[in-house]
Every structure is written in C-alpha cells, then in structure tokens.
Amino acid sequence: MENVTLEPDEKPVADEPRVPGRGRRHPLTDDEVHTRLMAWLDRHYGGNIEYMAMSLGMTPSYAQMIVKKQRPVPRWMLDRLNIVCRRFTVVERYDASRNHTL
C-alpha cells in the first residue's frame, strides 16, 4: 500500500463514520456543500458566476440563487463536486421551494 502523509487535523478515510449503503464517506451538511461549491467556483471559474452559468447551461439568475443559498444545489452539480449529501434534505428543501411558489 502507498504511504500517505496526513496533516495533523486530517483523518484517514477508514476512520470516518460509515453510513449504511454509502460506503466510507459521510453525508455533508448544507453549509459544507455550499463551502465546497464556492471553492469549486473559485477554482474552475475564478468566482465568475455568469461564466459558470453559461458553461453549465443554466441561467445566471438560477446560478446566483444557488450561490446565495436561495435554491438547493442540483443533484447533477453535487455529482460533479463529488459530494455525498443527505438526500432527504435536498428533497425537503426542493419540495418546500416548489410549494412556496404555488
């Protein structure tokens, strides 16, 4: 096996809590998902939300709502970020936002 150097505050993957059916990674909270989204946006698009929206095929206003936490992060974007999240949280927030606009 390959030797891996960890920073003092990092834990090996094997020590992370297990979630049934999800393997070794644990679900992230909404704040952790948003933090990863913002880091991904800065890294790949230089923080330019309009450029991100154009390259991902979404409207700039929808991308802005995602960044400002007014809409949940879409499932396909979570997959691109390689994030395991709590599915019920995403569904509940999506349902709540749909019912709110009706």
- Give one word for 21, left, alpha or beta, with left for phi > 0 and alpha for psi -120 to 50: left
At 102 the pLDDT is 44
- 30-84 confidence digits (pLDDT tens): 788 888 888 888 888 888 989 988 888 889 999 899 888 888 888 788 777 766 5
Check residues 33 and 93 and name the one with the higher pLDDT: 33
Q: Where are the domains of the chain?
A: 26-97
pLDDT at 100 over 70: no
At 37 the pLDDT is 85
Pair 12, 70: CB distance under 8 Å: no
pTM of the model: 0.52
Nearest alpha carbon to residue 91 among 67, 79, 66, 74: 74
Pair 7, 48: CB distance under 8 Å: no
The DSSP secondary-structure symbol of 85 reads: B
